[in-house]
Each structure stands twice: as C-alpha cells, then as structure tokens.
Structure 1
Amino acid sequence: MNENTNGRTVALVTGANKGIGYEIAAGLGALGWQVGVGARDERRREDAVRALRAGGADAFGVPLDVTDDDSATAAAELLAERFGRLDVLVNNAAVAGGWSQQPSTADLAAVRLVMETNVLGVIRMTNAVLPLLRRSAAPRIVNMSSAVGSLTLQSDPEAFTGPASAAYGPSKTLLNAVTLQYAKELSDTGILVNLACPGYCDTDLNGHRGTRTPAQGAVIAVRLATLPAGGPNGQFFNEDGPLPW
C-alpha cells in the first residue's frame, strides 16, 4: 500500500543509527521529510527511530545490510510498497577496517570487508533503489566520501590525509570514481549524483578522534540532498566548496 499521499519527500539514509548518518537523518527530518533509517542492528535502528521521532522527525526503520544482496532488495521492496518511490538516497554506511593499514602488512580480509561495504555496498544499494529514484520528480543521490579519497590531496606532501592506508582511503578513492560514472550514466535523467566529505568528525569510525561533530559533518550531505534542478552533478564537495579529485 502506498502511504505517501501527501507528496512529502522520501529519503533513505544508510548507516543512520548513529554518528553522521543519524545527524543526516535528523537534518532531513527537520525539513519535514519522511526519512528511512537504514541499519543492520535492530535495537540500534529502532532506538534511533524513536530518538528521531522524539525530535520531531517523521522517521521509520529500514532493516538493511548493504553487504547483502537480499537485504538491499528487501529494503527497496519495503520502500516501493510503502511509498511507491524514493526521492533521495544517502549512501552513508561505511567501515574503517581497523588500524593500522600499512599496505605492506595489510590484512586482505579487512581490505575486502572495507571494499565490500564502502564501495560495493554503495553500488548494491544504489542499483536496488534506482527504479524508485526514477519515479521521483527531483531524485538525488549523495555518497559520503572523504578527503582521504582525493588522489590530489594524497599526493600533496603539504596536505594532511593521515597515515598510509591500504583499505579505507583507497575505498573512498574508488567510491569517488564509481560516483563519477553514475553521474555520467544518469546525466540525462534528472538524478543528481554527488559526493560529500563531512570532514574529520568525532565518530566510532575513527575512535572518536575527530575534531568536528557529527552534526557538522551532516551539513554538506543535507545541502546536496536538497539541490535544486540543474544543480551540480558528479562533483565532490565539503562544507566549504568543491574538493579536488
């Protein structure tokens, strides 16, 4: 049954039970949107939904493991049944893969998990909901990346991109490349596909060493989720503007 009879924007945020993902969901909910909280852990997912609702957001839970084909398909089916479309997808779910990640001593199992989540998970989820995005009047895809994915910055000795990384940094570089290809493929569809860098935020991902709050990190994602028609496509931004590839 399609419950979306009021024309309100429908968004799905993956990995939204905590951290930046939660704050993105809160930011979109504050706009009056209906926001799906995608997360694997049922208790954390429902706790997040309750907290978002208590803050005034129209949030609902979406059981979702982006590394699993069946889970992504089931999430898309849930959205199709409930709303008949999806307006905004924010691919936020990610893992770091542990530290350190010196290439010469890399744990290949950890590298595979990072790539499976941070890159293949984005492809899997995007493809699962793409038919629903095509039904939207103003579809947007926001992929959460990082400045460490920029080859320009990584090759600049003056830029701070952290220690050598065989997993997390390269996963974001590949995500950037994949996002650009989606933008090219979908350039004539009205679907705007962009990359957001939240900055170095205080989250579980980095052991809470970040200097920005998750709410600050969510700002650029909300901005890209609300781009007007004719807005940028296939671009890489942080809160201050475009980033180098």
Structure 2
Amino acid sequence: MASSLEGVAVVTGGNKGVGLAIVRGLCKQFKGHVLLTARNEENGKSAVELLKTEGLNPIYEQLDILSNESIDKFKSRIEKNYGGIDILVNNAGIAYKRASTSPLIEKAHVTLQTNLFATLAVTNTLLPHMRNGSHICMVSSMTSKLKNVSQDKDHPVRQRLIDPSLTEEGVLSLMREYLIAVDNNDYSIWPKDSPYSLSKVAITAVTRAIGRKLANDPRGIIINACCPGYVDTDMTSHRGVLTPDQGAVTPLMMCFIPSKGSNGEFYMEEKMYDWLNSD
C-alpha cells in the first residue's frame, strides 16, 4: 500500500496518443505515483512497459469510464492503496472517423455518453478524493468553440451555454435535449452531424460550472479545460501537425497551475482563451 502522503496523478485513456504523452510528462515532472489508466489491460500494461524502456515508472490501473462498476472499483483502489488524488486528467474520449458510415443517432449517443456523461461520472466519483490544492484537467478540443454551435451570438443554445448561472446539471440537460432532437431528426436549433464538437463544447461549459462550484470548496481544487491542438494520433487519423508530446504541453500546464490561478477556464497553446467569445 502506498503512503497517503505520496502524490498521486491519474490519467484516463493513458495508453496511447495524447494520453500516453501526458503520462510521460507527468512521470518526468510530478513527484509521486503516476497512474496510467486504460480500459484494456493488455494495452495499458504494454504502454507502461514502453515507458519503462524510457526510464519512467508509471503504474497501470484498469478503468473503463463507460462502466460505473469499473469506476467504483477504481475509486475503492484509490481509497485503499493511495489515499487520495492530486492530479486528475480526464483524457479518455472518442471521435468517429470522417469516413464513418455509422448513423448519426449512434454517433451522437455514443460520443456524448463517452466524452461528457462518462467523463463526468469519473470526475464526480473521484472528486471527494481530491486532495488540498489538487488539479483537474478536462481535455477538450479546438472544436469546442461556440461558433460550432452557431455563428449567431444570440442563438438560444449559445445564450444558455454562456449563462453565468449555468450549472453542471444544466449542461447535461441541454445535451439531453440535443440527443432527443437527433432522435427526432430535428435540427431547428442544433448543428447537424456535430456530436463530437458538441461533446467538447459541453465539456468546456461544464468545466466552467464545476469551477464555479469549487470556488467555495475549502480544498482549493483547480479545474480547467484545454485543447491539446491538432495532434498526430489515431483520433485525427494521423492528420495532425503536432506530435503527441507537443500536444501534451498545455494539458500538463493545467496540472501545475498555481493554487491561486485560474479556475473553470479554457486554454489553448498554453494561454487562456476567451471561450465566451470563441469565434
């Protein structure tokens, strides 16, 4: 059992791409245990072995963010073996390929369930175990800009997203409305064929809502969302121009922002980005 005094960093979806690069960076920068989580045990352990050849020493932990049972078991292992968490990087996610012939209903439900609802399930389950001065990084995307909802700044969905009183549940409710609209083939106020963009818009919006909620938390937890950039990974079909290590730079920055730094903000290219006016 690890000492509860030792630092603990957790990266979801850490077996490849940007997630693996974030694990690599944390192993180099963070003094403590770095937990590389992945749904598939073989893939996760292979990633750990790869990093060990680089002189690094992450620890594999199984975590399927789509399984409440898996999340609960992971939480129990955190309680038993580590005592708490200092850094949580919510990196796990999904993006359908451009050439995918899957119906939009499937794309919308699977993408929102993975990128938003499951990510929040992990966050809320682990939040009670975040230590004083801990950091949460929500890996979002450049596609989370509000122009991808509508170019019209007075659009009703945009107005709801930027409402300073918007709660976490309010974001979830809005995205459930989107899924109902997709089920009914109703795009009167929603962009068509944009489930990935909307999932990341929602992640950025919900980060703002959680940041407001945590403002009154005595633990001083910092949460921010960020865009890694256009990275050469499986998710981008290797069209990206950045290496995974370059894509990890901004997420890693989110892991070490000073305790009195920004909270609930969105970052791109190592800088805070004005998401409320993201055109």
Q: What TM-score do the two structures reach when normalised by structure 2? A: 0.78
User: For residues 57 and 8 of structure 2, what CA distance do their matches in structure 1 show?
Assistant: 10
* Correspondence list, 1:1-245, <5 A: 1=1, 3-4=2-3, 7-31=5-29, 32-99=31-98, 107-133=104-130, 136-152=131-147, 165-189=193-217, 190-245=220-275
Kindly name which structure, 1 or 2, has the bigger radius of gyration based on alpha carbons: 2
- TM superposition shift of 1:243: 2.0
Q: How far apart in 2 are the matches of 1:106 and 1:126?
A: 29
Q: CA RMSD in A?
A: 2.2
SS in 1 for 2:249: helix
Offset at 1:56? Answer: 2.9
Counterpart of 2:262 in structure 1: which amino acid?
Answer: P
Deviation at 1:4, TM superposition (A): 2.4
Aligned to 2:162: none
Q: Unaligned stretches of 5+ in structure 1?
A: 158-162
Change (3 A) 1:22 1:201: same
CA distance in 2, matches of 1:149, 1:101: 21
Q: How big is the shift at 1:167? A: 1.2
Query: How big is the shift at 1:20?
Result: 0.2
Q: Post-superposition shift, 1:156?
A: 6.0
Cα distance between partner residues in 1 of 2:149 and 2:113? 22
TM-score by length of 1: 0.89
How many residue pairs end up in the alignment? 234
CA distance in 2, matches of 1:54, 1:101: 36
Give, in whole Å, the separation in 2 of the partners of 1:25 and 1:80: 21
CA contact (8 A) 1:30 1:56 kept: no
The answer (yes or no) to whether the contact 1:97–1:113 under 8 Å persists in 2 is no
The unaligned stretches of length 5 or more in structure 2 are: 153-190
For the 8 Å contact 2:104–2:193, the answer to whether it is kept is no
Q: Higher mean Cα deviation, 26-35 or 194-203? A: 26-35
Give secondary structure in 1 for the equivalent of 2:58: strand
Between stretches 118-127 and 105-114, larger displacement belongs to: 105-114
Q: Secondary structure at the match of 2:132?
A: coil
Whole-Å Cα distance in 2 between the matches of residues 87 and 192 of structure 1?
10
Q: 1:177 to 1:106 in 2, by over 3 A?
A: farther
- What is the CA–CA distance in structure 2 between the aligned matches of 1:101 and 1:150, rounded to whole Å? 23
CA distance in 2 between partners of 1:209 and 1:151 (Å): 23
The alignment partner of 2:107 has SS state of: helix
8 Å contact from structure 1 (residues 106, 166) kept in 2: no
Query: Which secondary structure state, in structure 2, belongs to the residue aligned with residue 99 of structure 1?
Result: coil
Q: How many angstroms apart in 2 are the aligned matches of 1:28 and 1:46? A: 17
Contact 1:97 1:111 in 2 (8 A): no
1:144 Cα deviation after fit: 0.2
Counterpart amino acid of residue 267 in structure 2: F
